[in-house]
Amino acid sequence: MYVAAHNGAFVYGGAERATLTLLAGLQARGHRVHLFCNSPVVSGPAEEFGIAAEMALIGGDAMLPHALRFAAKLRRHRPDVLLVGTFKKMLLAAGAARLAGVPRVVARIGLETDTPRWRKYNFAIDHWVDCVVLKTEDMRRRYLDAGIDAAKLAIVPGGIALRPRLHPPGEVRRSLGLPPGARVVGATARLDVQKRFDRLLRAFVRLPADVHCVLAGEGPERAALEALAAELGVRERVHFLGHREDVGDVLDALDLYLITSDREGMSNSMMEALAAGVPVVSTRVSGAPDALDPLDDGSAPGVVVGFDAGEVADAAGRILESPPLRAEMRAAALRRARESFSLERMLDGWEAVLSGSGVARGG
């Protein structure tokens, strides 16, 4: 199967990494893959994954010339299926695929707020898209409520490969000068408004004074977050690491992973934390209950709370105060990742929807 994909982002974040992980996995299974994208910010990492990539700019929905140029590229490549990876590019990308005679079009939806609230997206799904792939049942319900045909909806839970550790155990903690036995919370994500790291800091300030916070990632909110940490009087205990390739080592340094976003799909960073055995406290974003609800033995890999910083702090405090509870949650996190978010399981689901041989549903 020849799978072409389009990503319309101008930043490289979790959704882009997830797309590259998917394409690399399909390629490893013997499929041919090719990525079209809007920016070298995405094509560069694609090439590091060993994925062929080229520019195919798609702007706003009025940019019909972009769709025509993309259609010409697709005619030359003649893929079996086009995977549209950016919601707001669906109209032009799917239209271009149909103009080029691509046999199958599949749309990947990442964020819970990426719903067809506008008629143009309903039109694209109804007429040009064969399958819409969602990560959670909650997102599927939103599409059904918008009037999308249930037969066009598939659920493929996310899957991740365990981030490798590049340094000896404990190296990140040592490099930050953290005291032996210090309790550490944190996150690995782009420092963007959507992630609401301001809420994380306001929760962190309520935790005991010996707790440290590690934030690995870059983004437009970094300066504002550093200023807020100083204003809250915790700047010396909040460690901004910037972009890190050694995410596995950063996760190894954490006792607890915090997600304080207003909106997500199924958070890729949450799945990576679980795979590393790090318990999670998350706001009630889409996908959090699926990932963090208790297992059949009653143990839970995390806690889902409301959007108030106090609720985040209360849950985090209870977990940090109990080493036995953290150990139980660590085991539950590893089991949940192994049973629900394996890379091979995700690839099986995607092969089914991309080929049209079946519809993947359920968690």
- Listed in sequence order, the residues at least 6 apart from 184 whose beta carbon sits closer than 8 Å to its beta carbon are 173, 178, 211, 212, 213, 214, 253, 254, 255, 256
Flag whether 165 is in a domain. Answer: no
- For residues 195 and 305, membership in a common domain is answered with yes
Flag whether 199 is in a domain. Answer: yes
Q: Which domain holds residue 57?
A: 2-159+342-355
Flag whether 81 is in a domain. Answer: yes
- For residues 21 and 144, membership in a common domain is answered with yes
- For residues 84 and 145, membership in a common domain is answered with yes
Sheet containing strand 212-216, edge to edge, reads 238-242, 212-216, 184-188, 256-259, 280-283, 302-305
pLDDT at residue 286, rounded to an integer: 76
Q: Give the confidence band of 361 by pLDDT, cuts at 50, 70, 90.
A: very low
DSSP letter string, 242-253: ES-S-HHHHHHT
> What is the tens place of the pLDDT at every residue in 155-200?
998 887 777 788 899 999 999 999 888 999 999 999 999 899 999 9
How many domains, the chain?
2
- For residues 123 and 178, membership in a common domain is answered with no
- Listed in sequence order, the residues at least 6 apart from 30 whose beta carbon sits closer than 8 Å to its beta carbon are none
Smallest CA-to-CA distance from 152 within 363, 362, 5, 360 is with: 360
> What is the tens place of the pLDDT at every residue in 98-144?
999 999 999 998 776 677 767 888 889 999 999 999 988 888 888 88
Flag whether 34 is in a domain. Answer: yes
The separation between the first and the last C-alpha atoms of the chain, rounded to the nearest angstrom, is 25
Q: How far apart are CA 172 and CA 61, in angstroms?
A: 45
- For residues 11 and 70, membership in a common domain is answered with yes
Flag whether 187 is in a domain. Answer: yes
Strand 131-134 and strand 104-108: the pairing is parallel
- For residues 217 and 108, membership in a common domain is answered with no
> What is the tens place of the pLDDT at every residue in 214-263?
999 999 999 999 999 999 999 999 999 999 989 999 999 999 999 999 98
- For residues 325 and 209, membership in a common domain is answered with yes
* Contact criterion met (CB below 8 Å) for 321 and 210: no
Flag whether 230 is in a domain. Answer: yes
- For residues 135 and 187, membership in a common domain is answered with no
- For residues 142 and 236, membership in a common domain is answered with no
- Mean pLDDT, the chain, integer: 92
Flag whether 146 is in a domain. Answer: yes
